[in-house]
Amino acid sequence: MSAIVTDQFRIANANNFVDSVLSTDNNYYVFLGLTNPGTTSTPVGFGRTATWGNNPSNPPSPIDNQQYLSHYRNTALFGKKLNGSNIRRIVKKVNWTSNTRYEMYRHDYSVVNLAPISQSARLYDSNYFVVNSDFKVYICIYNGSYGTIGETTNINGNTSQDEPTFTDLEASSAGTSGDGYIWKYLFTISPSDIIKFDSTEYIVLPSDWSTSIDFQIQSVRDSGDSTINNNQIKYVYIEDGGGGGLYTAGTYDIKGDGSGAKVNIEVDTSGTITKTTVVSGGSGYTFGIVDFGHATTDTISNPAKLIPIIPPSRGHGYNIYEELGSDKVLAYSRFDDSTLDFPTDTKFSQVGIIKNPEKYNSTSLYTANEYSSLGAIKLTSNFNSIPVIGDKIEQTTSNGIARGYVVSYDTGTKVLKYYQDRSLNFANTLDQTDRNDVTSKANLINFESTSNTVSNVSYVASIDTSFTGITTTVGSKAINLGVTFSSGLSNPEINKNTGDVIYIDNRSIVTRDSRQKEDIKIILEF
């Protein structure tokens, strides 16, 4: 049996995701992770090839299974919460430029009625809306095209000459060139959204179109509600102007499942329809046909074909998510040095989104704006040589040897941060073949404050078992460490075995620096 997933399903899923992020029942976080993807000289990590670091333009594709989902959690560094100000629906960017043909909005593009310029089988793949140089967005109601009028055709329409700049509620031409274009103003992208979300490929839509009390948005939304103003249909397309003296100029009803729509036609001397003007848009239409008042006994030898263009929902501007086909969502997050949860002396090569992680050693959801998923050790003095990010550290404990990968080391506070993944215990492979070091290496062992030294082949230092709290003093300055220590050790702020990893992206490795900020923009397509 033939079946499709419709565009409306994709749009609904995008809307549902945004609603899920905004819900007080959920907590979504953008996280950075994997400091040590490995090179030929330092192969490390679970299921990772030794060439990732030597091929930064082509990192391996993420793997979606439970095994790897655990790995992503274990190698995560820190996360930042998504909220209403950091998530937006987006659509492709079509910049208005002079002398360019744009397609008009039509409800009937399909595999048997392709958009004439782009040859798209679906409306949302055609170029029927634009953003101007002032970040105002318009939909093209008419582009000067027609099927057959007498001996002429113009299915591609005209080139646009006049940049639309108006913010009037009614669709109109943009200038005096006579290019034939009719534009409908929808909205202006806000400066704050431009800063966060603008890109070369996408434009951002307002976050709360259906409920916004912004005067301009509300005006456009209400003007597009044909149940209020009876102006649903904006244009009637001339597929065939007909002729044979059959048609006369005048105003005619548009019949269908709606009511109230009327169109005025102009004809030439042969009775061919040459122009249409909607004088009343009506409401409630999902289909329509112009009623020329023929008797059932009339013979129509050269019939006209006029197509009332049915807007989405109740009218143009009422629901821009449906009108523009917003099946993509952009999530934005900025990581800087504003908190010690986000150390700047580290690296990362994965970006992800996690939903509803739980607090460490708890079943309650984590709800704070930021988190660290790293363990941390407070030392009494600095190492005799500075640890390198990705180094292995060890500690002999009462339960065996604890191992970890260095993620960050602050010589001022003497705080070392680390994570533990299975590559420390499974010989950097996915292989579970029996070997002679299973007894000594296979279990993950936690670091202890009672065994008070941490070492590497190149350095050793003692744990400051007397330190408990969240603040230390460097010189005369009190430093907030971001996490709470007990006897020199700090646990992650989240339970790393919890939360749904809903997005993961492998990247070429990024080295952080205190003088830089990382703006993360994640595009989710439904």
Q: DSSP assignment, residue 125?
A: G
Residue with tokens 């070392």: 416
Q: DSSP assignment, residue 215?
A: H
Closest of 354, 468, 465 to residue 32, by C-alpha: 354
pLDDT value, residue 368:
96
Q: How far is it, in rounded angstroms, from Cα 261 to Cα 252?
A: 9
Cβ atoms of residues 138 and 186 within 8 Å:
yes
pLDDT value, residue 422:
76
Closest of 369, 421, 372, 353 to residue 392, by C-alpha: 421
pLDDT value, residue 446:
93
Which DSSP string do the residues of 346-380 spell out, in sequence order? -EEEEEEEEE-PEETTSSSBP-SSEEE--EEEEBS
pLDDT value, residue 452:
82
Tokens matching residue 294: 């023929």
Q: How far is it, in rounded angstroms, from Cα 267 to Cα 149?
A: 10
| Spatial CB neighbours of 333, under 8 Å, sequence gap ≥ 6 | 30, 80, 82, 86, 519, 520, 522
Domain with CATH 2.60.340.10 in the chain: 7-87+329-373+496-525
- Provide the H-helix boundaries in 350-477: 438-441
Of 1.25.40.10, 1.10.10.1100, 2.40.220.10, 2.60.340.10, the CATH number of 7-87+329-373+496-525 is 2.60.340.10
Q: How far is it, in rounded angstroms, from Cα 367 to Cα 473?
A: 29
Mean pLDDT by 10 residues, the chain (526 residues): 88 96 97 78 45 61 84 93 96 98 97 96 97 98 97 97 97 96 97 92 95 94 94 97 91 97 97 97 97 83 95 94 97 89 90 97 95 95 86 91 92 94 66 73 86 87 94 90 94 95 91 91 95
pLDDT value, residue 429:
54
Tokens matching residue 378: 């407070």
Positive or negative: CA dihedral 475, 477, 478, 481 = negative
Q: DSSP assignment, residue 170?
A: S
- Buried b vs exposed e over 408-435: b needs ≥16 C-beta within 10 Å? bbbeebbbbbbbbbbbbbbebeeeeeee
Q: How far is it, in rounded angstroms, from Cα 82 to Cα 323?
A: 26
Q: DSSP assignment, residue 100?
A: B
Residue with tokens 């109109």: 172
pLDDT value, residue 444:
86
Widest CA span of the chain, in angstroms? 103
Q: How far apart are the first and last CA of the chain?
A: 23
